[in-house]
Amino acid sequence: MTARPIMVQGTMSNVGKSILCAGLCRIFAQDGYRVRPFKSQNMALNSAVTADGRELGRAQAMQAEAAGVAADVRMNPVLLKPETDRGSQVIVRGLPRATMQATDYFAFKHELVDEVRACYDELAAESDIIVIEGAGSPAEINLRHDDFVNMGMAHMVGAPVILAGDVDPGGVFAQLYGTLLLFDKADRSMVKAMIVNKFRGDVNILMPGITQLERLCGMPVLGVVPMMHMDLDDEDSLSSRLAARGQGAGTLDVAVIRLPRLSNFTDFNELDRHPLVGVRYVREAAELGRPDLVIIPGTKSTMADLSFLRQQGLDVCIRRLAEQGTLVMGVCGGYQMLGERLYDPAGVEGGGEAAGLGLLPTTTTFADEKSLVAGSGRLSIDAGGDCCSIDGLDLIGYEIHMGATELCAGATDQGRVTTSDGRVVGHVSGNVLGTYLHGFFDAPGIVEAFVRLLMERRGLAYAPVQAEPREAYRQRQYDLLAEGLRQALDIQKVYEILEAGA
């Protein structure tokens, strides 16, 4: 039996489509259905790696977890990872296909329709319900031709659409009504109901507007979803996590550099969850201060973002902090930046070479082949130093990078990060640690070990915190999300829409 689809579209980016879809996935799974998420095309720098070493958007991996199934690249057949303002790496079925400028991609994308449909059909054959997420706004009338993400996808598979608007910035009634007015008759017929999302305050104040909106649009509002604060993975550069926060959010101050092409900032969610830690994102040298830990995160464009560090004067500040004893860490592209030199002979990042920050005795050479590996590893400190107390920690994580990093000729390191099959994916030198492993802080005991280390470096007494295990915590977040949606939405009406189809 082929699965029944239902689709959530939004009036604009960041209205909460991903979270609404995750909540519906959880509800349907709780109710005993085999459910899979799907988003035909995603544009995001936050991604995940599947068990078989392929890449998909972080939101679909999160929605799969909510549904109780393993992440599968068929859930996100096309992933665009921006490298410049006009160009992106195009990933199809989890593997890089090409790097294209926007105009070239728009001329090419019709060739992907058959692959998108094949992925959907394969998932539908294994499922009872497919929850489809739209992208951006479906009312971008300049993009309607050849669309297979929003209304084009809805028509392709006969999916009834629920349209969501974000009340938080204001103008939600204009968002919803205006979006519907820009649809042609066929597209408008696919929309069966609306949702008002992210509301704060007394819902009774909103109800006269809801009543008038339903009359104007000729369809029901399924409910008003309050602003909920579950701790779920983000993929959007508009995420509130990336707002700079002042020092004092925790005993320990962790500063993550907010690079222009920052990727996989979910790497630091577990660190931020610890009650003694405050994680903040900084873009300017004046914001950096004297943190306990500086992290240079992953990036889609290492060379360009290294130039950004220099333009902002952050390179000088980070080196000075490292010289003064502050713990400095680099993840993926950040790890590459920590080295002595970066080489790009194949033009993967535009060609040429650049000096790194000189905090690790390493060099990086970029290459066309992309490393996509999910696995485990171990942190091994071979000599005494600032990080010796975290020697021997077991790690889990995944790699997404282009390029290889090696020790400089004649250099020795104090420690390394190795995978279970013996590959070196990180180096340690004094108070500087770099690794290719995304998800470094996700393994049990890692955050606690780092907090202990940072507290000891501050000369502060430390008592272990009995934190809820990561997996139990994440599952509880999905249950809270489902409970919140069940209270806010007419779920019976959702099932009626699902049953009736388009």
The span from the CA of 335 to the CA of 36, in Å, is: 35
Predicted structure pTM score: 0.84
pLDDT at residue 27 tops 90: yes
Q: Which residues pair with 254 in a beta bridge?
A: 279, 293
Q: pLDDT confidence of 248, banded at 50, 70, 90?
A: very low
Q: Which residue has the higher pLDDT, 266 or 341?
A: 341
Q: Please spell the DSSP secondary structure of 40-100, one letter per residue.
A: SEEE-S-EEE-TTS-EEEHHHHHHHHHHTS---GGGSSEEEEESSSSEEEEEETTEEEEEE
Q: Are 383 and 363 in contact (CB under 8 A)?
A: no
The span from the CA of 242 to the CA of 236, in Å, is: 10
Q: pLDDT confidence of 74, banded at 50, 70, 90?
A: very high
The span from the CA of 46 to the CA of 59, in Å, is: 8
pLDDT-above-70 percentage for the chain: 95
- The reported pLDDT for the residue numbered 467 is 75
- The reported pLDDT for the residue numbered 243 is 59
Residues, the chain, total?
502
Q: 382-391, pLDDT tens digit by residue?
A: 655 677 777 7
Per-residue pLDDT, averaged over 205-212, amounts to 95
- The reported pLDDT for the residue numbered 26 is 98
pLDDT at residue 417 tops 90: no
The span from the CA of 341 to the CA of 354, in Å, is: 6
List all residues 6 or more positions away from 32 whose beta carbon is below 8 Å from its beta carbon.
none
Per-residue pLDDT, averaged over 130-149, amounts to 92
The residue to which tokens 């690790």 are assigned? 360
Q: pLDDT confidence of 235, banded at 50, 70, 90?
A: low
Tokens of 38: 């799907």
- Decide: helix, strand or coil at residue 418: strand
Tokens of 262: 């920052």
Catalytically active residues, by annotation: 332, 438
List all residues 6 or more positions away from 481 whose beta carbon is below 8 Å from its beta carbon.
19, 22, 23, 26, 66, 228, 230, 232
List all residues 6 or more positions away from 243 whose beta carbon is below 8 Å from its beta carbon.
281
pLDDT at residue 208 tops 50: yes
Least confident range from 4-13, 54-63, 272-281, 412-421: namely: 412-421
Please give the single-letter amino acid code of residue 248: G
Least confident range from 91-100, 406-415, 422-431: namely: 406-415
The span from the CA of 51 to the CA of 148, in Å, is: 27
Establish how many alpha carbons lie within 13 A of residue 271's alpha carbon, considering only the half-sphere containing its beta carbon.
25
**DSSP designation for 127:** -
Q: pLDDT confidence of 180, banded at 50, 70, 90?
A: very high
Phi, psi of 76 (to 5 degrees): -145, 75
